[in-house]
Amino acid sequence: MNEQQLEDELVAYVDLLSDPRDPDKARRNCGSCINLLKLMKRLCFLPEKMQLAAMTNICKRSKYVDNQVCEGVVREQGPVLRRVLRTMDISGKDGHLLCASVLNTCPYPATEPWKLPFPKLKPENPYMHKRSNKTMTVLHLSDWHVDPQYEAGTETFCTKPICCRSESTDFNNILSEASPWGSFGCDSPLALIESMLEYIPNAAPNTSFAILTGDIPPHEVWETLPTYKTQMIQDMSYNLLHAHFDTSFLINTTLYPAVGNHEAAPTNLFPLRDSDLPSGARHDDFSMAWLYHALKENWKGWIDEKHLNRIHQQSGSYVSYPVDGLKLISLNTNFCYNLNWWLYERPKKRDPNGILEWLIGHLQKAEDMNEKVWIIGHSAPGDPSCFHDYSNYYYQIVERYAPHVIAGQFFGHTHRDEIQIFYKEGSQKAEDAISVAYIGPSVTPFPDLNPGFRTYTVDAETFEVIETHTYITNLNESIEWSRLPLWYKEYSAKDLYGSNDNPYTPLSPAWWHHFTEEMELNNNKFDQYWVNRYKSSPLTPECDFVCRVNTICGMRAGKSELRCDYIPSEPTNRPIILNRKDKDACGISLLTKEFRQSNATL
């Protein structure tokens, strides 16, 4: 097969697997995905310039992706794919894992069994903190995706992953003009973020501390390089955050951030310590050393110096103490992320960069000191984008150290207002629920959500969440705003979801599980959760029976293999329902407007 024939065949496979008109057909076509990867691997043995040119041409010929986006994505991601694909066993687990986790076209490979070693056995009668009569307030921000190129009056519908920019606007033929405060299908203008930061002291005037669970840069996946461009956006954003959080008459509290997949340039690509990085001057930034150094500078004043100095050593993860008795552990969860191509490089690692071992060490110290722990990160372990193996191992850690040590988990990434529940001993019963992961709503309205943020009312002794409050602004009403966006409280979880039929302590893991049981029996309960999940967006999708089953299943899936929306490789007792109507907020959709809600984030 010559190069032209190879390219023609690749285009045919790409069209088959990316055609939005028939996604179910693509999901059934595992063989096509494997063949596509085999041909892609062949391309990777050509000289790099020829490989990248061929990949760019294939992308452009596929009809579904903007040409400029094709050129940029291949230019930035292609050199890493070149290194990684050449090491992969395409016909074996490697190829099937990529096809399953990214495109859902193959059965998901069975989890590789590994019983994590712990320093000590779980105590039979661990020290349990007693609930107090005192509470504190914690602020949760996530996924603000500020776009410096956002411009009011530009087009909200375009062929790029994000719109509302002059470069993607035909000013002689605008279908829908971007609002000064933000628009569906676009990332956040600076004005929207500033209005939110100015409103927060009204919503939470006495905030004890705050968390930011990742993703500051925009979804500009085709133009993240040179790295100083992405770093400049982050530097600007953290300067703004410091101005509000470090000022006595504004928010006036400490912010603890986590690393999102969009913090990297190129997007998603966090190499391991022993990754085979591309050589040459144009690839010098692939190590992410620039990012860890920038985060160290941007986080000064919030994190103790001794922990800041270890940011690079721990791949952006760190520990800190927001208040006495509470240890906060910030994890770089991008070593679980299915679009971090470095994770497919053979030989694979069970614990990339030793982050899980590091986490266990700090949890064990907390147990020995009778401390409570919060874990924050970007992608939750129950998200479909988190590898089943890694998620399984993380789940073992939660089972070992919850509920007596781990008092809370907080993530972002999906852009929605969600929760995930963890259980012990393979159960999914209320009495066996041991931990809850809170998924923070995004500030960005991308793809079709209202902007939002959340606060928690927390017991000051046990550090358990006993109430949540979600705040939003309704972009559909922006034309009526006279001066600034109108932010308001959308709902409180205990007030809205509570009932006399729920016998458990409000917002405990058991309480949340019982709520999912009520959702199964009561359509009104489900509908309340569904609307809030999308922050009352007028573009909230319909949710049929299949969607409802998958949503509740996902709420009970603290690890991703417990989800119901993928093809298993082995028999399972869980429901398997693939034709979901509810798609993830950030999908392969980032390549084109029509794909805005599919299954993975580039």
The pLDDT tens digits of the residues spanning 328-373 come to 999 999 999 999 999 999 888 999 999 999 999 999 999 999 999 9
Class of domain 135-595: alpha beta
CB atoms within 10 A of CB 427: 12
Nearest to 90 by CA among 28, 35, 172: 35
Q: In this structure, are residues 335 and 343 in contact, taking their beta carbons and an 8 Å threshold?
A: yes
Residue 201 pLDDT > 50 = yes
Give the SS3 label for residue 246.
Answer: coil
Q: Which structure tokens are listed for 525?
A: 């309960």
Instruction: List beta partners, residue 423.
Output: 433
Residue 3 pLDDT > 80 = no
Confidence of residue 171 (pLDDT cuts 50, 70, 90): very high
Average pLDDT value for residue range 60-74: 89
CB atoms within 10 A of CB 239: 10
- Predicted local distance difference test score (pLDDT) of residue 18: 60
The pLDDT tens digits of the residues spanning 85-102 come to 999 999 999 999 999 999
Residue 26 pLDDT > 70 = no
Residue 303 pLDDT > 50 = yes
d(CA 490, CA 240): 26
Q: Which structure tokens are listed for 473?
A: 């602004």
- Predicted local distance difference test score (pLDDT) of residue 160: 93
Q: What is the pTM of this model?
A: 0.93
- Predicted local distance difference test score (pLDDT) of residue 142: 98
Confidence of residue 12 (pLDDT cuts 50, 70, 90): low
- Predicted local distance difference test score (pLDDT) of residue 152: 94
Most distant CA pair in the chain, distance: 74
Burial (0-12, 13-18, 19+ Cβ within 10 Å), 375: buried
- Strand order of the β-sheet with 418-423 is 318-323, 326-330, 372-376, 406-411, 433-439, 418-423
Residue 463 pLDDT > 70 = yes
The pLDDT tens digits of the residues spanning 467-525 come to 999 999 999 887 677 688 999 999 999 999 999 999 999 999 999 999 999 999 999 99
Q: In this structure, are residues 185 and 447 in contact, taking their beta carbons and an 8 Å threshold?
A: yes
Out of 273-282, 484-493, 592-601, give the one with best mean pLDDT: 484-493
The pLDDT tens digits of the residues spanning 213-268 come to 999 999 999 999 999 999 999 999 999 999 999 999 999 999 999 999 999 999 99
- Predicted local distance difference test score (pLDDT) of residue 11: 67
- Predicted local distance difference test score (pLDDT) of residue 594: 32
Residue 580 pLDDT > 90 = no
Share of the chain above pLDDT 90, in %: 80
Confidence of residue 276 (pLDDT cuts 50, 70, 90): confident
Average pLDDT value for residue range 177-194: 95
